């Protein structure tokens, strides 16, 4: 169990600035990251990483940064984000990431709530957001811009190109030799390191405070996916403003030394994975679902022999996976068959996905269908589900390598505790529990009670310590008939369909269950084309009789699987292609239950009218 006074270290270092300084010195000219420039991957060494971060930090000091000042970044993943992150922390500052899809109004709220004094914007588009609201952000001192394209004729007292900041920092370093070392020592192990605003589905976002020790402690577990090896590659593409990607891209490599490769954009992720061949891969279920539907659709178009070979190979892989899940060693014969299946088929599938070098994969941040994990295991990919939230620095439980129970999120991370409240709520305790919400003692007191973090999730823990997450506490549906229904279980099964991206089950205080469905536009359009279903735009596709029938058959399949609870009786397709800019979606592209319930109230009432 945890020792409250114990200080955790990585490579003998107890804070992120110290750890960063240490690994930069150790690794020198090894490659820390790569980004694509005009189509060519360009390497950045740890030495360069260290120097640029130092210049960001000292540049900020030259402009008046004080310890504990908050620095906010709104940018897609890029090396500059990382220079800013570790540079800020190295001089005693606190970094905070903002989603690039946030509106000016949301940016304004977070800036004022966090008291941001320095702001980093990726480009012209993000700069415009801050310029629109800066008059109402009195504490803001300076705005920096990473990419000045299209802004060369723009001059403003408060705005400075990022390169100018680097020059300023370099000059400060020359004029004040030895200035950095004492600044690196400012941060104490239990001090605030970063703020992570949680995308509240109800109420305004709250800034979760994570300490150096929270992060250092979690780094101690960074090898749970796979033992690191020299030359390991990672791909960075999920938003850095999310705690999972931040940990994976910025902090994990401090321990493992893996090279981080930045995807060019979210659209090029499939190509970039193939180029990079990541050794470890973390993604949210949506990405894993997308990969799977891609393969499923390609197989539908394959030649009869191809289809047969795939079905046979996946069958062998599934048998292997099932043995593994049951904790049994597969027979020699089965293992031999698997080698053949892998050589001729499965390896090609993995290559087409870019996962052929992947030794460990993890899924988290949202629930996933167990069947999907099994499919990846059948391919031979060691896929582990993890569970956690921002407030416990990302990871609370993970599937252990030796023993797998599908449908659970694994066992507690070592040196932490998991328990259930009398109401069935999952509680967490340990060095990973955060410091509280920024300047919000009331919410903090509601969330952390006697050192136990209330997750807001309802679940179960079995005799072997495996945790099963049933649902968000506030999402549980009680139908008019008094039946308790956990919507996420049904929703996950629905999302397993290649045609359904996301679904929201409705039925609280209602006579029966219904659901709103967000289609996958690509797979559904392909389905329509194959069957000569005429459609013009997305709305007409949704209304096509054949598509309605298709989705209904998918729902019936799920209804059979969840027969012990109530089945879905009606459904409605969302007739717009939603993007992260839409209020219906969280930045990680999940439908927001409460918002969707409000926005589609008429549609929902319509489903119950006359029933």
Partner 1 sequence: MAEPLLAVTNLETFYGPVMAIRGVSFEVPRGSIVTILGANGAGKTTILKTVSGVMDPQKGTVSFNGREIQGRDPDRVARLGLSHVPEGREVFPFLTVRENLAMGAYTRSDADGVARDMEMVYEYFPVLKSRAEQRAGSLSGGEQQMLSISRALMARPAMMLLDEPSLGLSPRLVKEIFDIIVRINRERGVTVLLVEQNAHMALTIAQFGYVLEVGRIVMEDTCARLLEKEDIKEFYLGVKEAGVRGTRRWKRKKMWR
Closest separation between CB of residue 145 and partner 1, Å? Answer: 12
Q: What is the DSSP letter of 172?
A: H
Dihedral of the CA atoms 572, 578, 582, 588 (nearest 10)?
100
Shortest reach from residue 519's CB to partner 1, in Å: 15
Tell the burial category of 218 from Cβ atoms under 10 Å away from its Cβ (0-12, 13-18, 19+). buried
Applying CB under 8 A, the span of 47-55, 119-127, 296-304, 351-359 interacting with partner 1 comes to 119-127
Interface region with partner 1, contact rule CB under 8 A, candidates 38-46, 113-121, 509-517, 526-534: 526-534
Query: Measuring CA to CA, which residue among 261, 186, 189, 253 is closest to residue 219?
Result: 253
Task: Closer to partner 1 by CB, 154 or 343: give it.
Answer: 154
What radius of gyration do the chain's Cα atoms show?
Answer: 25
Q: How many angstroms separate the CA atoms of 606 and 572, rounded?
A: 10
Residue placing its CB nearer to partner 1 in the complex, 508 or 522: 522
Q: Is 581 in the site for partner 1 (CB under 8 A)?
A: yes
Q: Which window, 288-296, 304-312, 314-322, 534-542, contacts partner 1 (CB under 8 A)?
A: 534-542
Element of type H or E holding 427:
strand 425-429
* Residue closer to partner 1 (CB basis): 196 or 591: 591
Shortest separation between residue 144's beta carbon and partner 1, angstroms: 16
Among 540, 546, 567, 587, binds partner 1 (CB under 8 A): 540
| Residue 538 engages partner 1 in binding (rule: CB under 8 A) | yes
- For tokens 């270092």, name the residue: 13
From candidates 15, 75, 100, 123, binder to partner 1 by CB under 8 A:
123
Rule CB under 8 A: choose which of 66, 548, 579, 594 binds partner 1: 579
For the bound state, the minimum distance from the C-beta of residue 20 to partner 1, rounded and expressed in Å, comes to 33
Please give the sequence-ordered ranges of beta strands (E in DSSP) within 180-221, or none if there are none.
192-198, 206-211
Cβ-proximal residues to 7 (8 Å cutoff; 6+ apart), any chain: 14, 189, 213
Collect contacts of 576-582 with beta carbons under 8 A, ≥24 apart.
576/538, 576/539, 577/521, 577/538, 578/518, 579/101, 580/99, 580/101, 581/101, 581/103
By CB under 8 A, residue 125 contacts partner 1:
yes
Interface with partner 1 (CB under 8 A), residue from 371, 576, 583, 611: 576
Stretch that binds partner 1, among 56-64, 335-343, 530-538, 563-571 (CB under 8 A): 530-538
535 sits near partner 1 (criterion: CB under 8 A): yes
Contact code string over 126-165 relative to partner 1, x by CB under 8 A:
--x--xx----------------xx---x-----------
Q: Which stretch binds partner 1 (CB under 8 A): 254-262, 351-359, 512-520, 522-530?
A: 522-530
Tokens found for residue 194? 């970063």
**Going by C-beta distance under 8 Å and a sequence separation of 6 or more, which residues neighbour residue 174?**
none
**Minimum CB distance to partner 1 smaller for 133 or for 490:** 133
**303 or 536, CB closer to partner 1?**
536
**CB closer to partner 1 out of 66 and 268:** 268
Q: CB under 8 A: which stretch of 378-386, 529-537, 554-562, 564-572 binds partner 1?
A: 529-537
Which residue, 309 or 525, has its beta carbon nearer to partner 1? 525
- Residue 575's nearest CA partner among 547, 556, 609, 605 is 547
- What residue has token string 């150790």? 26
User: Could you tell me the two tokens for 295?
Assistant: 């393969």
Judged by CB under 8 A, the stretch of 3-11, 362-370, 421-429, 527-535 that binds partner 1 is 527-535
CA distance 424 to 422: 5
**DSSP codes, 244-274:** HHHIIIIIHHHHH-PEEEE-S-GGGHHHHHH
Q: Which of 14, 48, 51, 124 binds partner 1 (CB under 8 A)?
A: 124
Among 202, 329, 509, 537, binds partner 1 (CB under 8 A): 537
Site for partner 1 in 345-404 (CB under 8 A): none
Is 365:231 a contact under the CB 8 Å cutoff? no
Minimum distance of partner 1 from residue 542's CB (angstroms): 13
- Give the bridge partners for 159, in sequence order: 143
Closest-CA residue to 578 (of 495, 506, 501): 501
Stretch binding partner 1 (CB under 8 A), from 74-82, 123-131, 215-223, 228-236 = 123-131
Q: Taking the complex as a whole, how short is the minimal distance between the CB of residue 528 and partner 1, in angstroms?
A: 7
| Minimum gap (Å) between residue 98 Cβ and partner 1 | 17
Number of chain positions touching partner 1 (CB under 8 A): 24
The tokens of 91 are what? 């001089």
Residue 525 binding partner 1, by CB under 8 A: yes
Cα 400 from Cα 536, distance rounded (Å): 48
CA pair distance 410, 482, nearest whole angstrom: 31
Residue 541 backbone class (left: φ over 0; alpha: ψ -120 to 50; beta: rest): alpha
CB of 522 to partner 1, least distance (A): 10
At residue 35, the 3 state secondary structure works out as strand
> Which residues in 196-225 contact partner 1 (CB under 8 A)?
none
Helix (H) or strand (E) holding 53: helix 46-62
Min dist. Cβ of residue 127 to partner 1 (A):
8
User: Which two three-digit tokens encode residue 248?
Assistant: 């994976």
Cα atoms in the 13 Å half-sphere on the side-chain side of 398? 23
Chain residues that interact with partner 1, rule: CB under 8 A: 123-125, 128, 131-132, 149-150, 154, 525, 528-529, 532-538, 540, 576-577, 579, 581
């Amino acid at each position: 169990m945890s020792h409250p006074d114990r200080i955790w270290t990585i490579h003998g270092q107890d804070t992120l600035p110290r750890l960063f300084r240490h690994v930069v010195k150790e690794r020198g000219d090894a490659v820390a990251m790569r980004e694509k420039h005009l189509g060519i991957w360009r390497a950045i060494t740890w030495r360069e990483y260290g120097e640029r971060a130092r210049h960001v930090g000292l540049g900020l000091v030259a402009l008046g940064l004080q310890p504990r000042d908050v620095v906010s970044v709104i940018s897609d993943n890029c090396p500059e984000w990382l220079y800013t992150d570790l540079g800020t922390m190295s001089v005693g500052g606190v970094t905070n990431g903002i989603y690039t899809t946030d509106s000016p109004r949301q940016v304004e709220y977070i800036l004022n709530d966090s008291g941001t004094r320095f702001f980093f914007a990726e480009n012209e588009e993000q700069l415009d957001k801050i310029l629109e609201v800066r008059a109402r952000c009195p504490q803001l001192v300076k705005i920096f811009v990473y990419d000045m394209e299209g802004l060369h004729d723009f001059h403003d007292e408060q705005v400075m190109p990022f390169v100018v900041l680097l020059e300023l920092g370099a000059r400060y370093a020359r004029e004040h030799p030895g200035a950095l070392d004492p600044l690196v020592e400012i941060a104490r192990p239990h001090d605030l390191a970063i703020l992570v605003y949680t995308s509240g589905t109800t109420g305004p976002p709250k800034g979760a405070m994570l300490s150096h020790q929270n992060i250092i402690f979690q780094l101690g577990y960074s090898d749970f996916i796979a033992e690191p090896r020299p030359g390991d590659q990672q791909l960075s593409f999920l938003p850095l403003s999310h705690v999972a990607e931040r940990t994976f891209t910025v902090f994990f490599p401090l321990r493992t030394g893996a090279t981080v490769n930045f995807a060019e954009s979210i659209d090029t992720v499939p190509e970039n994975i193939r180029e990079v061949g990541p050794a470890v891969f973390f993604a949210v279920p949506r990405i894993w679902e997308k990969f799977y539907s891609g393969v499923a659709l390609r197989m539908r178009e394959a030649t009869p022999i191809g289809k047969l070979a795939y079905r046979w190979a996946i069958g062998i892989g599934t048998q292997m996976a099932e043995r593994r899940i049951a904790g049994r060693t597969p027979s020699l014969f089965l293992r031999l068959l698997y080698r053949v299946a892998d050589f001729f088929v499965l390896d090609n599938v993995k290559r087409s996905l870019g996962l052929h070098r992947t030794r460990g994969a993890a899924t988290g941040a949202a629930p996933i269908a167990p069947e999907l994990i099994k499919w990846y295991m059948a391919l031979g990919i060691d896929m582990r589900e993890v569970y956690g939230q921002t407030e416990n620095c990302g990871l609370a439980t993970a599937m252990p390598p030796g023993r797998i129970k599908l449908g659970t999120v694994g066992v507690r991370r070592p040196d932490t505790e998991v328990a259930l409240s009398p109401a069935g709520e999952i509680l967490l305790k340990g060095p990973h529990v955060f410091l509280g919400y920024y300047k919000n003692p009331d919410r903090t007191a509601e969330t952390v009670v006697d050192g136990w973090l209330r997750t807001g999730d309802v679940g179960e823990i079995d005799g072997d310590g495996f945790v099963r997450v049933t649902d968000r506490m506030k999402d549980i549906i009680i139908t008019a008939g008094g039946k308790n229904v956990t919507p996420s279980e049904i929703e996950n099964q629905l999302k397993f369909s290649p045609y359904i991206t996301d679904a929201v089950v409705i039925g609280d205080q209602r006579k029966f269950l219904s659901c709103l469905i967000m289609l996958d536009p690509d797979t559904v359009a392909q389905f329509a084309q194959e069957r000569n279903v005429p459609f013009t735009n997305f709305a007409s596709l949704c209304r096509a009789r054949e598509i309605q029938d298709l989705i209904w058959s998918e729902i019936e399949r799920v209804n059979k699987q969840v027969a012990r609870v109530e089945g879905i009786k009606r459904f409605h397709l969302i007739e717009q292609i939603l993007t992260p800019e839409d209020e219906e979606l969280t930045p990680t592209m999940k439908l927001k239950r409460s918002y969707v319930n409000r926005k589609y109230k008429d549609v929902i009432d319509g489903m119950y009218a006359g029933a």
